[in-house]
């Protein structure tokens, strides 16, 4: 029923645009007959809006994967390099939160592990909105930053790496079945910055899925129940990803392809010194507007990658 409702909504969206264009065509005919010349400015404005809407709908046709229409869960992990990588991880977290804000999407930091001196060791974020996973799925991989270190007194150039994982949100009833006996649930006090922020009660939750060894923690909410529900949401997404990976590995084995079980190939580089450049190594898209990208202007990069994958599939 949910899928049927989504399909009906999509059909109605296209038919609504068709009706709008028909109305504009009739208004344009009136204006051409000079019966209503004052309508021209309004018609131009409406046509521009319809063109923009059509381009957005056409691009959404690219997002036709099984899970593309779902919400997304991002997991960000600092790589080797200590404070440098942890600061880079926090920069990427801000970038995705700003992107979600620009798109009008919802975002919630489900869990965060702060770094020792600066930045974060890891973070889990939920992005909610139409086709959130479809837009962000290409962000899965290693992100590389080259810059003059703000933490190095000698001002030398550093290279930092962060792994970003992107998971589609799992639907509890249909995607994943979890046996409660397969779970070990531990509770502990949430870590904080001290003072009033430190939880006196054990509200943080750690869930271990015993058959796979997957571990998920959540400590951002003040309620133990809320933290448990959030951790279960992330666990379902990770278990679904595990099943999808198994299917992909089996397909690759049958095709004779080699699967790299490591972090994977570097997908994008962000260079802040000695010049400014962001380059996606899969689509070959380049831009010197690194600061704008890090401030959440990601759409050009996302669309370049997604259009490339469509070309490859064809």
Q: For the domain 180-255, what is the CATH code?
A: 3.30.160.20
Q: For the domain 72-173+263-313, what is the CATH code?
A: 3.30.70.1660
**pLDDT confidence of residue 309:** 78
Contact between residue 27 and residue 40 where contact means Cβ atoms under 8 Å apart: no
pLDDT tens digits, one per residue of 97-130? 999 999 999 999 999 999 888 899 999 999 999 8
Exposed e or buried b per residue across 234-260, where buried means at least 16 C-beta atoms within 10 angstroms of its C-beta: bbbbbbbbeeeeeeeeeeeeeeeeeee
The H or E element that residue 164 is part of is strand 157-168
**pLDDT confidence of residue 262:** 44
The model's pTM is 0.79
Ranges under pLDDT 50 in the chain: 193-199, 258-262, 313-314
Q: What's the length of the chain?
A: 314
pLDDT tens digits, one per residue of 273-299? 889 999 999 999 999 999 999 999 999
Instruction: Let me know if the fold of 72-173+263-313 is the same as that of 180-255.
Output: no
**Shortest CA distance to 115 belongs to which of 155, 76, 141?**
76
**pLDDT confidence of residue 222:** 75
- The residue ranges of every structural domain in the chain are 2-60, 72-173+263-313, 180-255
**pLDDT confidence of residue 256:** 57
**pLDDT confidence of residue 193:** 46
Distance CA 72, CA 145 (A): 24
Average pLDDT, the chain: 85
Distance CA 207, CA 229 (A): 10
**pLDDT confidence of residue 307:** 85
């Amino acid at each position: 029923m949910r899928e049927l409702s989504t399909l009906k909504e999509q059909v109605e969206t296209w038919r609504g645009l068709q009706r709008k264009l028909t109305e504009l065509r009739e208004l344009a005919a009136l204006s051409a007959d000079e019966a209503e010349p004052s309508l021209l400015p309004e018609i131009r404005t409406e046509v521009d809006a319809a063109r923009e809407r059509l381009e957005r709908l056409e691009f959404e046709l690219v997002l036709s994967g099984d899970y593309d229409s779902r919400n997304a869960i991002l997991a960000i992990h600092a790589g080797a390099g200590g404070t440098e990588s942890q600061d880079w991880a926090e920069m990427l977290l801000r970038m995705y939160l700003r992107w979600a804000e620009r798109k009008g999407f919802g975002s919630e930091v489900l869990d965060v592990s702060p770094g020792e001196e600066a930045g974060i060791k890891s973070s889990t974020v939920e992005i909610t909105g139409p086709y959130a996973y479809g837009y962000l799925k290409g962000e899965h991989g290693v992100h590389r930053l080259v810059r003059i270190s703000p933490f190095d007194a000698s001002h030398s150039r550093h290279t930092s790496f962060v792994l970003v994982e992107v998971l589609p949100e799992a639907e509890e009833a249909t995607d994943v079945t979890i046996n409660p006996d397969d779970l070990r649930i531990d509770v502990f006090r949430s870590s904080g910055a001290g003072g009033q922020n430190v939880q006196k009660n054990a509200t943080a939750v750690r869930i271990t899925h015993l058959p796979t060894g997957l571990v998920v923690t959540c400590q951002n909410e003040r309620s133990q129940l809320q933290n448990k529900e959030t951790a279960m949401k992330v666990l379902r997404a990770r278990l679904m990803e595990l099943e999808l990976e198994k299917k992909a590995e089996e397909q690759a084995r049958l095709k004779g392809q080699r699967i790299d079980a490591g972090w994977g190939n570097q997908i994008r580089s962000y260079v802040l010194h000695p010049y400014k450049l962001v380059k996606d190594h899969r689509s070959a898209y380049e831009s010197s507007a690194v600061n704008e990208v890090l401030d959440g202007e990601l759409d050009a990069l996302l669309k370049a990658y997604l259009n490339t994958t469509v070309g490859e599939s064809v």
